[in-house]
Amino acid sequence: MWDSIHFIAPGDLLQILVLAFGYYYIFLFFRGTRGAPVLVGLILVITVLLGLTQVFSLNALNWLLRRISVFLGLALLIIFQPEFRRALAELGRQPVFSASAGRRTTVDHVVRAVVTLAEQRVGALIVLEREIGTRAIQETGTRLDASVTPELLASIFFPHTPLHDGGVIIRDNRIVAAGCVFPLSHNPDLHKQLGTRHRAAVGICEETDAVAVVVSEETGTISVSYRGRLSRGLDEERLRRFLAALLLKGQKAESAWQRAREQLDLTPEGIAKSEKMTDKEQSGAE
């Protein structure tokens, strides 16, 4: 009886755990991105074709699939280049213990400026850089290197000023550039009524881990883009909580995998979760 029972060797169990861990985080990184439907479709096509070749003994098709599998890895790198670049950037991030007071002040100033612009229905695009640099995009605008103040941000976006058409980039609690041109998102899932400013906000967040705050010129609606997703209709309190949850995380050392997992969700449920985390951190600090 016992001879017929096969026990799993420790090495085999380790391989299963490593593969499960790898597949889980691959799907986690691709979830909600433009490459997710392509990845699902590619997996379905390959699975169906392999199943047909085995069931109906299609030797020629099976031979062809085995030959093109050599080039499949290169094809995946080309198709999912933005997603892979973002994933590698997340893995390379290190905990940053910056002054929380400076970041909190920056959040407060940005929120005050955004609320003022929204009340006056002045269009604005403010990008807060995090770990992935935006030096190439900064070169498209005008270098400033100025302190973040609500008055300066509001004056930059005032109509008919030289820099009001572009976006502002904030890094390390400083306005490093204004009038910048951001890459536009070509995500077909975005609403057709969204203008260039909103598509630029989504575009920069698809390429980097930055947070983009947008004010609609037509409606005064405040939106936030993060990880290539756009959340619209935020009020002052929700905007403050969400920015604080993302920009004040440097107070605790977290693994790259934990930060990546927490930061990929910008759905209403994800924002609510960020708000709860911020409340918990603030209560602990008090």
pLDDT in tens, 21-75: 887 777 776 665 666 677 778 778 888 888 888 888 888 888 887 777 777 777 7
pLDDT of res. 5 = 54
C-alpha triplet 63, 68, 70: angle, nearest 5°: 115
Report the predicted TM-score, pTM, of the whole model to 2 decimal places: 0.58
- pLDDT tens for 233-243 read 999 999 999 89
Domains observed in the chain: 7-79 (no CATH), 100-285 (3.40.1700.10)
DSSP alpha helix (H) spans, the chain: 10-30, 35-55, 59-68, 72-79, 81-91, 100-119, 135-138, 150-156, 196-207, 236-247, 256-263, 268-285
Q: Are 139 and 181 in contact (CB under 8 A)?
A: no
User: Could you identify the residue written with the tokens 């449920």?
Assistant: 269
Q: Encoding tokens for residue 202?
A: 């989504």
Measured distance CA(185)–CA(198) in Å, rounded: 9
Closest CA to 128 of 189, 169, 184, 186: 169
Other CB atoms within 10 A of residue 211 CB: 25
User: What secondary structure letter does DSSP report for 195?
Assistant: -
Measured distance CA(93)–CA(45) in Å, rounded: 35
The residue type of 93 is R
Q: Are 272 and 103 in contact (CB under 8 A)?
A: no
Closest CA to 234 of 111, 121, 129, 104: 111
Q: Which residues are within 8 A (CB) of 154 and not within 5 positions of it... i.e. 6 or more apart? A: 113, 116, 117, 122
Lowest mean pLDDT among 101-115, 197-211, 270-284: 270-284
pLDDT band at 98 (very low <50, low <70, confident <90, very high): very low
